[in-house]
Structure 1
Amino acid sequence: MIYCTLCGIHITEQPGETWLQEFRAIWVESDLLNNVAVSGVGRWGNSVDDFSGTVPVDPKKRYDDDAGPGTTIDVALTPNKPTMFIHSLDEDVSAWGYGFHASCWIIFTKYSTPNLGHLFAACLSMPTGQEAFLNWGHDYGGASILEKPFKVPTRDTRFPDPRTIPNLFRSDPFHIPALARAIQQTTRLQNDVFLSRINFNAETLTKDPFFRLSPDILQLIPMLLSTSEIHAVRLASPVFASLKLTERFWASRFQPGHEFEYITEIIDHPPESWRAFYLSLQIWALNDPSMANRKRIWGLTKTLHGLLSQMEDAPCQGRPLQTWFETSADPEDTSACWHTAACASTQPNGSFVNGNRGLRARTLRFPQALKAQRMSVSFVNLPEGVFVSGLVLIDHNHERHAIGYIHESNMVDIHLPIAQYIQGWELALHTSGVKAMALIYEDGVLSSWAGEPVGSPRWRLAGLPSLSAIKAELDAIKLVRLSREGSLDELT
């Protein structure tokens, strides 16, 4: 089975459920990992096997266009072992990537066009489970479960049989007849429960602390609150209970951060009355399963865009080493002896059911043994939690040495009491990466922690206080392995 990268529901041929069959792919050809493309809309019923889909190469084409789909290509979707396609000699299976329902892709790209390279690399960084089910670290809004066979956590679909998918999850989140009906019926509605106001006497109003605020500020406050909070305020405050809620307020209910932000159609075609449309939704659309599915997928869209936004303007710093993902970099010096801290790392040609998988490798080599006065640890926020993404070391000459992905706005500093040589680090490890780090001073004393080490196993990566080089291995988002150069005698 193949599942949508965004919503976690099958891309499958189901009678009466056209949207489940229609999909796009983000894909590459063989090892051309820098040339990520998005396909046109294909139909799963035309697929060649259970794991490959046929799509138009042109993103503007569809499988059912009157003039035909144009050139098509077979794309292997959600590969567990991508290196088999990179090194494949079979030209018929050289295209591979990740699939999205066509409806989900429209929702995902409504306000922001993703960086396809970042999106593809992020997909490569996520475990794929036993059934090619991508694990983003969330439950897909109820569509997945976390299983622990042999005490190893893997995420899988909650609905292995497409015939058992509940109505909410199988309802088209983009083409929603009930929403269209709500828009059409808006102008016919005359009454709104929110239109009524209570008249209070002057003495009651003057006792309300909000009475001292200007009318402009009073009108601004409701726009910053949720509708449920407005209800509470109006019950508690005579001033707000007597305040007429303006069209500007009702329009704000459909802006980012409010309860109907996922109804994107209305932004392009605003109604004559926002207040009337709000009430129309209560009557015609709110109980519709497609609306509920739209809301679920909108939340997943925000989560994925939030992850991708952290990848912008955060290049992987350090000297590149050749990996299966970055083949043009210099090969690693095989004479170097690295002592490595890692947990649940998967080899490039291994099955990526859980744990982590490195895509990039970077090194820092110091002209003389590092004498540090500060270490700054960079973090990235993921659905699964907060993880280390990179390091910045400041030496005794105030020179800056950075490795990995550095997010200047999300860093924790560790200041050494005096500039000194260091033995290495203690790391709090998680199967997905590094949760926290502490320095090991020259005398073996541990510094304060950057990050949250509680509940994670720890690895002491230390040697003689003469650190000359470090190596970081990372996926597209975070640090997954850290090494320090040393000798076999120093292995701790």
Structure 2
Amino acid sequence: MQRDSVRQNCALCGSHAPSWLPGPISTQNHGFATLRMSICGQTSLERSGAVVLQMMPPDHGITNQAQDQPSITTTDPISMYSDREYVIHDSCLLFLEKTVHSSSFPLRRLYEVLASLPYSEIYQTVDWGRDHGMRDVENECGYDPWLVRLSPDPEHPLRPYSTFDPLRSPQVDELLSNSAMGRSEIVPGESSRLNTEIITIGNGHINSSDRFLRLPTEICCLITQYLPTTDVANIRLVSRAFRSSFDHQSFWASRFHQFHERSWLFEALDKKDRLDWRRLYDLTRYASIDKHLKNRRRIWDLVPMILGTLQLRWHGSLDRTAPMDADHSLSMIARCHKQRPGFDIREVSRIHLLHKVPVPTRLSQIRVSFTQLGDAKYVCGFTFWRVDDPPCHMGYESHDQECVNLECFDGIILTTTKRGVRAVRFLSHSTTPWLGQTGGFTSYSKLSTERGVKLIEGAFDGCKMISLAISEVEADT
């Protein structure tokens, strides 16, 4: 069937789904309990139509439902409940795939994350907690100020280029052609022997405090390739060992590698001709690129945060499905949101998985993992490090972690919002520092015991902790 999705926005970039499409999206309707993800765009990506993910029992696989569907499949059971279809531009999905170092794209994880985010019926898109590169809108319709949404104002100065296909810019070939002129590695006239050069200061003594001067030039060049350009500009003012950093083509070439400021022009890395990377860097300044590339840069800046949520590692089982409630048999429960008049569950995150673990009796350290959504960090899991045994994990594990050293704890204090847990501190003989973001929040939940914590259970959506429950150590009889 043909489904008119004019009023739907891309779940990744926030722009209108058919912005650069010739017509409506082809998809299939499998009923209320169907999980649907439509991928729309040009056929040159060999991915026309829609991907349909249908809710199946755990012992069944999930495959595409028609021959004209894209060649994306998943054999893992979907454990997220949703009646919503998420539309994604093929261009936006390609950008995300380019940053995933895996043989297959984690499509199931992407759907679980999307289904975990609040959905705006007004703006027809999920809320990542950021503005998609556009202006924040005024608080309206009862939404909390921290819910940043896409501006609906058609006169906004950033709006025009958000409708241009970021993959098909006629300027790309022109930029690469104008930069394919060749250039020596070092600008003529600049010295490359900084490691053997004697640097003196006003009174004629050797500047022994500049330890970088003892390094070979090649090492200094390699260091700069891992730093942002602004940091390299600053370090050139601090140490003369980096004076010639901007004269090396290898440095400017690194600006086009992953997560540097020109990585969005990935065609440059595929170019077989020798490029003048410094010239290409200058030609791709924001004021010089066309609207297609401006839109690409806007979308590309959103990718790292989305990628971080996809790479979270889950340590519990996946045999329970949402919707679900936390275990009320546990003695003390803290929730991030409660039912209220006019409450709409679509405004907040929904519980997806539960994970209950026993608290080790002899601890050495507790690590708290965080995930980033917009400008906010959320707690996504705990790791309890035991004295003599392997660590015990609860929930997700990420690279962004904070830790506290303690032997035991009697309770937990949480900073909560409707979206999830933002910060925690543990109660022991002395209260530990906050782990996470606490600024500007007044909603706290305190879970405390007299004899120590025996069990701890977290409720999670697709990327973060939603609520927490604990049970007390039983009294001796």
Tell me how far 1:408 sits from its aligned partner. Answer: 8.0
Matched, 1:9 2:15: yes
Q: Give the structure 2 partner of residue 245 of structure 1.
A: 247
- Residue deviations 1:49-79, cap 9 Å, x none? xxxxx935599xxxxxxxxx96469xxxxxx
Q: Give the structure 2 partner of residue 477 of structure 1.
A: 463
Secondary structure at the residue paired with 2:314?
Answer: coil
TM-score by length of structure 1 reads: 0.68
Asked if the contact 2:370–2:381 (Cα under 8 Å) also holds between the matched residues in 1, the reply is no
The alpha-carbon distance between structure 1 residues 358 and 436, as it changes in their structure 2 partners (threshold 3 A), is same
Q: Give the structure 1 partner of residue 77 of structure 2.
A: none
Correspondences of 1:345-384 after superposition (within 5 Å): 351-364=344-357, 373=363, 376-383=366-373, 384=375
TM-score by length of structure 2 reads: 0.69
Q: Give the structure 2 partner of residue 119 of structure 1.
A: 110
Tell me how far 1:270 sits from its aligned partner. Answer: 3.5
Distance 2:139 2:444 in 1: 24
Q: Give the structure 2 partner of residue 342 of structure 1.
A: 335
Seq. identity, %: 18
Matched, 1:385 2:376: yes
Higher strand fraction: Structure 1 or Structure 2?
1
Q: Give the structure 2 partner of residue 65 of structure 1.
A: none
Matched, 1:97 2:85: yes
Correspondences of 1:57-68 after superposition (within 5 Å): none
Q: Give the structure 2 partner of residue 274 of structure 1.
A: 276
Matched, 1:425 2:417: no
Secondary structure at the residue paired with 2:49?
Answer: strand
Distance 1:322 1:217 in 2: 52
Give unmatched runs, 5+ long, in structure 2.
1-6, 54-65, 71-79, 201-206, 473-477
Distance 1:413 1:283 in 2: 44
Tell me how far 1:182 sits from its aligned partner. Answer: 1.5
Correspondences of 1:110-259 after superposition (within 5 Å): 110-112=98-100, 114-131=105-122, 132-142=124-134, 144-145=136-137, 147=139, 149-150=141-142, 152-153=144-145, 154-159=147-152, 161=154, 166-187=159-180, 195=187, 197=189, 206-207=198-199, 213-217=215-219, 219-220=221-222, 222-227=224-229, 245-259=247-261
Query: Amino acid of the residue matched to residue 128 of structure 2?
Result: W
Tell me how far 1:358 sits from its aligned partner. Answer: 1.0
Distance 2:296 2:98 in 1: 13
Tell me how far 1:231 sits from its aligned partner. Answer: 5.8
Distance 1:6 1:105 in 2: 8
- Residue deviations 1:372-423, cap 9 Å, x none? 656724221313433222335578997965432245872523514xx68x3x
Tell me how far 1:103 sits from its aligned partner. Answer: 2.0
Tell me how far 1:342 sits from its aligned partner. Answer: 1.2
Tell me how far 1:97 sits from its aligned partner. Answer: 3.1
Q: Give the structure 2 partner of residue 55 of structure 1.
A: 49
The alpha-carbon distance between structure 1 residues 300 and 345, as it changes in their structure 2 partners (threshold 3 A), is farther
Q: Give the structure 2 partner of residue 448 of structure 1.
A: 432
Distance 2:452 2:229 in 1: 60
The alpha-carbon distance between structure 1 residues 374 and 129, as it changes in their structure 2 partners (threshold 3 A), is farther
Tell me how far 1:119 sits from its aligned partner. Answer: 0.8
Q: Select the residue among 432, 451, 454 that pairs with 1:465.
A: 451
Distance 2:152 2:233 in 1: 38
Asked if the contact 1:23–1:100 (Cα under 8 Å) also holds between the matched residues in 2, the reply is no
The structure with more radius of gyration: 1
The alpha-carbon distance between structure 1 residues 483 and 257, as it changes in their structure 2 partners (threshold 3 A), is closer
Query: Amino acid of the residue matched to residue 115 of structure 1?
Result: P
Asked if the contact 1:361–1:472 (Cα under 8 Å) also holds between the matched residues in 2, the reply is yes
Query: Amino acid of the residue matched to residue 303 of structure 1?
Result: M
Asked if the contact 2:51–2:69 (Cα under 8 Å) also holds between the matched residues in 1, the reply is yes
Tell me how far 1:127 sits from its aligned partner. Answer: 0.8
Q: Give the structure 1 partner of residue 314 of structure 2.
A: 314
Secondary structure at the residue paired with 1:316?
Answer: coil
- Residue deviations 1:121-152, cap 9 Å, x none? 11111111242321112221225546354472
Asked if the contact 1:168–1:292 (Cα under 8 Å) also holds between the matched residues in 2, the reply is yes
The alpha-carbon distance between structure 1 residues 247 and 407, as it changes in their structure 2 partners (threshold 3 A), is closer
Asked if the contact 2:176–2:275 (Cα under 8 Å) also holds between the matched residues in 1, the reply is no
Give unmatched runs, 5+ long, in structure 1.
44-53, 60-68, 74-81, 86-95, 326-330, 487-492
Query: Amino acid of the residue matched to residue 427 of structure 1?
Result: L
Q: Give the structure 1 partner of residue 94 of structure 2.
A: 106
Please, what is the CA RMSD of the aligned residues?
Answer: 4.8
The alpha-carbon distance between structure 1 residues 217 and 146, as it changes in their structure 2 partners (threshold 3 A), is same
The alignment covers a number of residue pairs equal to 421
Higher helix fraction: Structure 1 or Structure 2?
1
Asked if the contact 1:361–1:473 (Cα under 8 Å) also holds between the matched residues in 2, the reply is yes
Asked if the contact 1:26–1:98 (Cα under 8 Å) also holds between the matched residues in 2, the reply is no
